[in-house]
Amino acid sequence: MARREKLRALVLSRRNVGEADRLVTMLTRERGLLRVLAKGVRKIPSRRGGHMESLTQVMVLVSGGSGRYFLQAVETENYFKSLHDDHEALARMQRLSKALIHIFEEEVAYTSLYDALLQACRVLPEVSYAKRSLMETAIALLALREGGIIPLLGKCRRCGRRRPEETVVLNAEQGGWTCLTCTSSMAKARASLAPRMLAVLRYLAIHPDKALRLSVSEEEARQLTDAVWSYVSTLVMREMAT
């Protein structure tokens, strides 16, 4: 990275450091995931502090390199007020943000994911519960694909069956799904999917941009997000343990 560079970013999270600083984790369109130290933003008054809210699109000027970046200037491009006013939609985006921080390497660009997250910040408050779940699932799958850890959905990871007639289980330990009869632990039932929902999952993995074209019930939507987030949570816990 150049000594100073202007970047477009989506703020994912922030935490206080010392008495006046803040460490901001952001996904930039040009440079991927960055952790940037915003010095003095907690002082009163600070002209920069109000621009660093989570899930806000910003234009930033950063300096430094080799994993040590410092905020020089920031300007809000989109606060996504409708998203921040909708607690359920906001919680979904926060869940995605937390997962991304653990899944991705720093300083690797994920342009398609950045664009998908911005679209979700705009659209999520405007659609139904089921559509929100489809969009959230599509972005989670896109993130797993970009991170090189997307589940293999073509066939059962144990018996090789491609078209199950019964419930299947999304299993992070197997790297995909297994038939219920091939699953060793019933504790994984929360990650189970009906055959129809497996077909939806396969479609979203290939066409994440077409999530809103699908139609599912609220119960099916809940089943879908429960299964995907059980899978993602296992991967995140494994990453945190290493």
Spatial separation of the C-alpha atoms in residues 6 and 112, rounded to whole Å: 20
CB 203, CB 142: distance < 8 Å: no
* 121 within some domain: no
Cβ proximity of 95 and 57 under 8 Å: no
Q: Are residues 165 and 76 both part of a single domain?
A: no
Amino acid letter, 55: L
pLDDT at 102 over 60: yes
Backbone torsions φ then ψ of 40, nearest 5 degrees:
75, 5
Q: Higher confidence at residue 187 or residue 54?
A: 54
Q: Left (φ > 0), alpha (ψ -120 to 50) or beta: where does 167 sit? A: beta
Residue 118 is assigned to a structural domain of this protein: no
pTM, two decimals, is 0.90
pLDDT average, residue stretch 97-116: 91
Examine residue 134 and state whether it is found in any structural domain, yes or no. yes
Task: Note down the domain range covering 209.
Answer: 127-241
> Residue holding tokens 């989570």?
54
Could you tell me the pLDDT band of residue 181, with boundaries at 50, 70 and 90? confident
Comparing 106 with 189, the larger pLDDT belongs to 106
* Cα atoms in the 13 Å half-sphere on the side-chain side of 182: 19
Is 11 part of a structural domain of the chain? yes
What is the average pLDDT value for the chain, to the nearest integer? 89
Give the total number of structural domains in the chain: 2
The pLDDT assigned to 103 comes to: 86
Residues 9 and 71 in one domain: yes
State the pLDDT at residue 21: 87
Please indicate, yes or no, if residue 103 is contained in any of the structural domains. no
Mean per-residue pLDDT for 82-90?
A: 97
56: domain CATH number? Answer: 2.40.50.140
